[in-house]
């Protein structure tokens, strides 16, 4: 009796999870480019167990057959296929609804994300050229760093191909939100599952601006000193992991989690689930900068609405002014690269 009750309760809970309950969810293909890497592998696992995914396409320049065979044995509906090398990229992409890009090199201690530009800019440009050809209507979730520049590169590639739709291009900044939530919940003594913190700006150092004045639930136990420390830790979260890994790369597991959260939100938006809001780095008029991360409402066509910044306190207003110069330079660097190469 007890076990029957537990079984039906967990089934009810499972079915009531927002956005997963309908049996009428459409078929959705998700492609991961860079799927055999440190982020790609755990992200492939998480997308395989996402009930909204019916087809999972794993692409890399090496190692995908093994990852695809491994992930394909998991007990969930998504059909998994592995693709390797440039001549299989088209097939990997065709029919994709969401393309997630964690392809490229990660940082080592002492490097900035911008130090990855020279290698990753070319990788992203090549992959986006193929996306424009094979799945121009897909939502693109850009993880490859430096995100502040790789998203403008992608936009320019799509513009040149005549396929650019600003509603469909996203820089994945979810890991900044994930970190801000964890650090805030820990310091304020709140359950992290109930916490939310918007993070705006970009995805590198001072361009990452957590808005703790808008954190929910509000906490009155934190001093200004605490907020300054939480802000700095969120901005340096990537470096904290790079240093702890001591030469073996950057965040992979927490990034895979964050990437899966964001892709899930994109899929729910595509499927018409209302009020799906996540922070993301998108084409924007929220500030004078052409790309900016802020809360975004996701819908059937991708971005439904880029939400404003809300009210900032003086510390956050100063943070916003401080980030604009670096973010502007990173955007311009990406655009210049796309035009010149
Ligand atoms: N947006 C964010 O918050 C974060 C971004 N990142 C970035 O994600 C990227 C990947 O990081 P990791 O997975 O740790 O690196 P990794 O080196 O472990 O994996 C990268 C994978 O990309 C593949 N790759 C290289 N060129 C490719 C191409 N042309 N097409 C397809 N695949 C290709 C490699 O073969 C490798 O399997 C880095 O640029 C890193 O900085 C990392 C953490 C957080
Ligand atoms: O710090 C890095 O190089 C990787 C990254 O973007 C992050 O962990 O936020």
* Residues contributing to the annotated binding site: 34-40, 60, 107, 113, 120, 143-145, 179, 255
Average pLDDT over residues 287-301: 98
Average pLDDT over the chain reads 95
- pLDDT for 22 equals 56
- pLDDT for 12 equals 41
How would residue 14 be classed by pLDDT, with cut points 50, 70 and 90? low
Does 339 qualify as catalytic in the annotation?
no
Average pLDDT over residues 95-103: 98
Task: State in Å: Cα 143 to ligand 2 middle.
Answer: 9
Go through the chain and tell me how many residues it has: 341
What secondary structure does DSSP assign to 226-265, as a single string?
Answer: HHHHHHHHHHTHHHHHHHHHTTS-S--HHHHHHHHHHHHH
How would residue 18 be classed by pLDDT, with cut points 50, 70 and 90? confident
Q: Are strands 199-201 and 208-210 parallel, antiparallel or unpaired?
A: antiparallel
Tens of pLDDT along 178-213?
A: 999 999 999 999 999 999 999 999 999 999 999 999
* Position 214 pLDDT exceeds 90: yes
- pLDDT for 5 equals 43
- pLDDT for 15 equals 44
- Which one of 113, 148, 239, 249 would you pick to mutate in the ligand 2 pocket, going by the greatest count of ligand atoms within 8 A of its CB? 113
- pLDDT for 8 equals 44
Strand-pairing partners, residue 278, are: 296
Kindly report whether the global pTM for this prediction surpasses the value 0.90: yes
The closest-lying atom of ligand 2 relative to the alpha carbon of residue 251 is 8
Of the listed ligands, the closest to the CA of 43 is 1
46-to-56, 64, 69, 100, 134 alpha-carbon distances in Å: 11, 16, 15, 13, 24
State the Cα–Cα distance between residues 231 and 226, nearest whole angstrom: 9
- pLDDT for 20 equals 80
Tokens of 226: 């605490």
Of the listed ligands, the closest to the CA of 249 is 1
* ipTM surpasses cut 0.95: yes
Average pLDDT over residues 22-49: 94
Provide the percentage of residues in the chain whose pLDDT is more than 70. Answer: 94
Average pLDDT over residues 113-131: 97
* Position 13 pLDDT exceeds 50: no
- pLDDT for 23 equals 61
* Residues contributing to the annotated binding site for substrate: 107, 113, 145, 179
């Amino acid at each position: 009796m007890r076990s029957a009750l537990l079984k039906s309760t967990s089934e009810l809970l499972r079915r009531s999870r927002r956005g997963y309950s309908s049996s009428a969810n459409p078929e959705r293909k998700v492609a991961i480019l860079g799927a055999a890497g440190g982020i790609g592998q755990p992200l492939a696992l998480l997308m395989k167990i996402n009930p909204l995914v019916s087809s999972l396409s794993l692409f890399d320049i090496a190692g995908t057959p093994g990852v695809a065979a491994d992930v394909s044995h998991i007990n969930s509906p998504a059909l998994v296929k592995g693709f390797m090398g440039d001549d299989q990229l088209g097939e990997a992409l065709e029919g994709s609804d969401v393309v997630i890009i964690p392809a490229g090199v990660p940082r080592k201690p002492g490097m900035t994300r911008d130090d990855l530009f020279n290698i990753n800019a070319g990788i992203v440009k090549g992959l986006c050229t193929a996306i424009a050809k094979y799945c121009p209507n897909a939502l693109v979730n850009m993880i490859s760093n430096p995100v502040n520049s790789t998203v403008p590169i992608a936009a320019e590639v799509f513009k040149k191909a005549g396929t650019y739709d600003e509603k469909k291009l996203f820089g994945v900044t979810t890991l900044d939100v994930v970190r801000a939530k964890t650090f805030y919940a820990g310091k304020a003594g709140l359950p992290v599952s109930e916490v939310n913190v918007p993070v705006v700006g970009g995805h590198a150092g001072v361009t990452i601006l957590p808005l703790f004045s808008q954190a929910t639930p509000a906490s009155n136990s934190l001093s200004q000193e605490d907020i300054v420390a939480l802000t700095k830790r969120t901005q340096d979260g990537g470096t904290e992991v790079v240093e702890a890994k001591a030469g073996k790369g950057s965040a992979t597991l927490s990034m895979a989690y964050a990437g899966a959260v964001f892709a899930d939100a994109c899929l729910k938006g595509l499927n018409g689930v209302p009020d799906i809001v996540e922070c993301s780095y998108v084409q924007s008029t929220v500030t004078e900068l052409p790309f900016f991360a802020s809360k975004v409402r996701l819908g059937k066509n991708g971005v439904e609405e880029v939400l404003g910044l809300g009210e900032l306190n003086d510390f956050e207003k100063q943070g916003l002014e401080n980030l604009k110069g670096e973010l502007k330079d990173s955007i311009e660097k990406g655009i210049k690269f796309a035009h010149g190469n």
